[in-house]
Amino acid sequence: MNSPQGQLSVSDAEGVISLVPHMLGFHPRESLVVLIMQGNALEATLRIDLPGSGLGLPSTRRLARHLVDYMRAAPDADGACLVVYSEQERIAEPLPCQGFIDVVATQLQRCGYRIHDAWLVGRQRWWSYFCTDAACCPGDGRPLDEVVLSDANLRMVVEGSSPVPELWDGSSDGAWPAVEAVREVVDAQRQAEDGWKGIIRGLERWCAALDQEPRELLSRLRSNPADAGALLAALGEHMVRDALPFAAGASSTAARQALVGQLREGGTRVQLRDLGEFMLGHSDRAPHWRTLERLWDLGRGLLPAAQGADRCALLCILAWIEWSKGHSSGAHALIATCRAEEPGYRLAALLDAFWSRGQLPRWATRRETAWSGRA
């Protein structure tokens, strides 16, 4: 299979395309996915929505330049594969989105990136944008079954990867038993207004939860409205909400206890520079992924019982965890839900603006510290 710069065999293409849902964690729709490469090694993935059909050439070029800015967050990247997912039917030449792909590929090449190949993935077939050899790339495309049955896809499935059909945006995962009783606890605790001591107590409660197995803890919380309500009520305090990802990123119980102690001794004047740097992704130290996954499982499990401010806090925390893994699409989906439900929730607006500039955490750009898919 020929491309403007270099060659990939048909089997390579099938394998590469098959990896996309596993890397993203979901099956993309109406999307451009950029597979960011270092040599022949896959460094990262980037997904954006396909532009509308009315997007002019200047706007397309600006979008391509934004893609370059995103790719520069992976400093060792030197090439890319482009994969378009669209259900537009191919009626005649050219392929759907051909002009868009030509502009993107040209812009990336001008910036020094090698374009290995570009493909269109439809509902049942796939095509190469660059290959003109009918022997390997027939005009009616190749069946997607070849991608599904590729060695790369089968290996990922055997290893436990199971991409979901679409992005999770915070929609309910089911009902919470006796949710009214939980909300009564939340309201009562917020009305108590216990000040700084209450903030410390709430953070201690969450730190203790991070030391437990989420499935077992959630099982107990479903039959204990007082404890579930106490955890949710604590999220109404911005300090608890903002410190939780940092607490989960700590590598030990002792480190979390040290954070609580620092807050207790410093009061409202405490300067948590490390916390701020970590939340902005300016740390070279990777989060402790196992504990961060516990926070994800617990936060997602509690979401059906959450409302208002505590629901927004959980959505922002879960969005941050997605972003920390390099899953910007998942992060934006959760933030969009939060902003739709509570347009005035300030943290969601700040995170949305920050991430919209293409910011990635430092640890996500280095293979040895990035999320590997396993906690």
Q: What is the pLDDT of residues 2-57, one digit of tens each?
A: 233 343 444 588 999 998 998 888 899 889 999 988 888 887 788 888 887 666 77
The yes-or-no verdict on residue 267 having pLDDT over 60 is no
The yes-or-no verdict on residue 64 having pLDDT over 90 is no
Neighbours of 270 (CB within 10 A): 12
Rg (C-alpha) for the chain, rounded Å, is 23
The yes-or-no verdict on residue 263 having pLDDT over 60 is yes
Mean of the per-residue pLDDT values of the chain = 85
Q: Check: CB of residue 113 under 8 Å from CB of residue 148.
A: no
Q: Which residue has the higher pLDDT, 122 or 49?
A: 122
Mean pLDDT of 324-341: 92
Question: Which two three-digit tokens encode residue 35?
Answer: 């597979």
Q: Check: CB of residue 43 under 8 Å from CB of residue 367.
A: yes
Residues whose CB is less than 8 angstroms from the CB of residue 160 and which lie 6 or more positions away in sequence, other chains included: none
Q: Check: CB of residue 4 under 8 Å from CB of residue 131.
A: no
Which residue shows structure tokens 């404890």? 227
Where are the domains positioned within the chain?
Answer: 10-158, 179-365
The yes-or-no verdict on residue 158 having pLDDT over 70 is yes
At 10 the pLDDT is 40
Q: Give the domain 10-158 fold.
A: Cytidine Deaminase; domain 2 (3.40.140)
Q: What is the pLDDT of residues 236-261, one digit of tens each?
A: 988 889 888 988 886 666 666 666 77
* CB neighbour class for 33 (10 Å; exposed up to 12, middle 13-18, buried from 19): buried
Helices 238-249 and 289-302, interaxial angle, to 10°? 140
* Cα distance between residue 367 and residue 257, in whole Å: 30
Tell me the residue type at 179: V
Helices 238-249 and 346-355, interaxial angle, to 10°? 40
The yes-or-no verdict on residue 171 having pLDDT over 80 is yes
What's the pTM? 0.79
* Cα distance between residue 375 and residue 373, in whole Å: 7
The yes-or-no verdict on residue 167 having pLDDT over 70 is yes
Least confident of 6-15, 137-146, 310-319: 6-15
Question: CA–CA distance from 107 to each of 47, 76, 131, 229 (Å)?
Answer: 17, 18, 19, 52
Q: Which of 117, 116, 122, 133 is nearest to 95 (CA)?
A: 122
Helices 308-324 and 346-355, interaxial angle, to 10°? 20
Q: For a pLDDT cut of 70, what percent of the chain falls above it?
A: 88
Q: Which residue has the higher pLDDT, 96 or 183?
A: 183
At 364 the pLDDT is 80
The yes-or-no verdict on residue 162 having pLDDT over 90 is no
Query: Within the chain, where are the H helices?
Result: 10-24, 57-71, 98-110, 145-148, 151-158, 179-192, 195-210, 214-222, 225-234, 238-249, 253-266, 273-279, 289-302, 308-324, 328-341, 346-355
Which residue shows structure tokens 């990896």? 19
DSSP 20-81: HHHHHSB---SEEEEEEEETTEEEEEEEEEPPPTT--HHHHHHHHHHHHHHHTTSTT--EEE
